[in-house]
Amino acid sequence: MKTNRIYFWHFTILGIAFLLFLLLNISLGSARIPFSHILPALTGGDGIPETHEYIITNYRLPKAITAILSGASLALCGLIMQTFFRNPLAGPFVLGISSGASLGVALLLLGGSAIAGAAITTSGLSIALAASAGSFVVLLSIMVVASRVRDTMALLIIGLMFGSITSAVVSVMSYFSRMESLQQYIFWSFGSLGDLGWDQVRVFMIISIVGILLSIASIKSLNTLLLGENYARSLGMNVKQVRYLLILITSILAGAVTAFAGPIAFIGLAVPHLTRQIFRTPNHRVLLPAVILFGAVLMLLCDTLAQLPGYEFSLPLNAITSLVGAPVVIWLLVRKKRMLF
> With 90 as the cut, is the pLDDT of residue 282 above it?
no
Q: What mean pLDDT is predicted for residues 28-56?
A: 75
pLDDT at residue 219, rounded to an integer: 92
pLDDT at residue 215, rounded to an integer: 93
d(CA 273, CA 332): 7
**Domain range list for the chain:** 2-335
> With 60 as the cut, is the pLDDT of residue 246 above it?
yes
d(CA 110, CA 90): 30
286 to each of 3, 220, 336, how far by Cα in Å?
A: 11, 12, 20
Residue 9 CB burial class (10 angstroms; 0-12, 13-18, ≥19)? exposed
pLDDT at residue 3, rounded to an integer: 76
Average pLDDT, the chain: 82
pLDDT band at 2 (very low <50, low <70, confident <90, very high): low
> With 60 as the cut, is the pLDDT of residue 181 above it?
yes
Assigned CATH topology for domain 2-335? ABC transporter involved in vitamin B12 uptake, BtuC (1.10.3470)
CA atoms in the 13 A half-sphere facing the CB of 156:
15
Residue 174 CB burial class (10 angstroms; 0-12, 13-18, ≥19)? middle
Q: 28 phi and psi, to 5 degrees?
A: -95, 145
More confidently predicted of 322 and 299: 299
d(CA 255, CA 253): 5
26 to each of 37, 45, 72, how far by Cα in Å?
A: 10, 17, 18
* Cβ 295 vs Cβ 71: under 8 Å: yes
More confidently predicted of 177 and 286: 286
pLDDT band at 115 (very low <50, low <70, confident <90, very high): very low
* Cβ 65 vs Cβ 134: under 8 Å: no
Other Cβ atoms within 10 Å of 310 Cβ, number: 10
pLDDT band at 309 (very low <50, low <70, confident <90, very high): low
Per DSSP, 30 falls in state S
> With 60 as the cut, is the pLDDT of residue 114 above it?
no
More confidently predicted of 34 and 69: 69
> With 60 as the cut, is the pLDDT of residue 290 above it?
yes
pLDDT at residue 251, rounded to an integer: 84
Q: Angle between the 124-148 and 239-261 helix axes, to the nearest 10 degrees? A: 160
Closest listed residue to residue 167, CA positions, set 119, 141, 134: 134
> With 90 as the cut, is the pLDDT of residue 167 above it?
no
pLDDT at residue 72, rounded to an integer: 94
Per DSSP, 83 falls in state H
pLDDT digits (tens, 9 = 90+) for 70-91: 999 999 999 998 888 887 777 7
d(CA 46, CA 32): 19
pLDDT digits (tens, 9 = 90+) for 193-219: 877 888 889 989 999 999 999 999 999
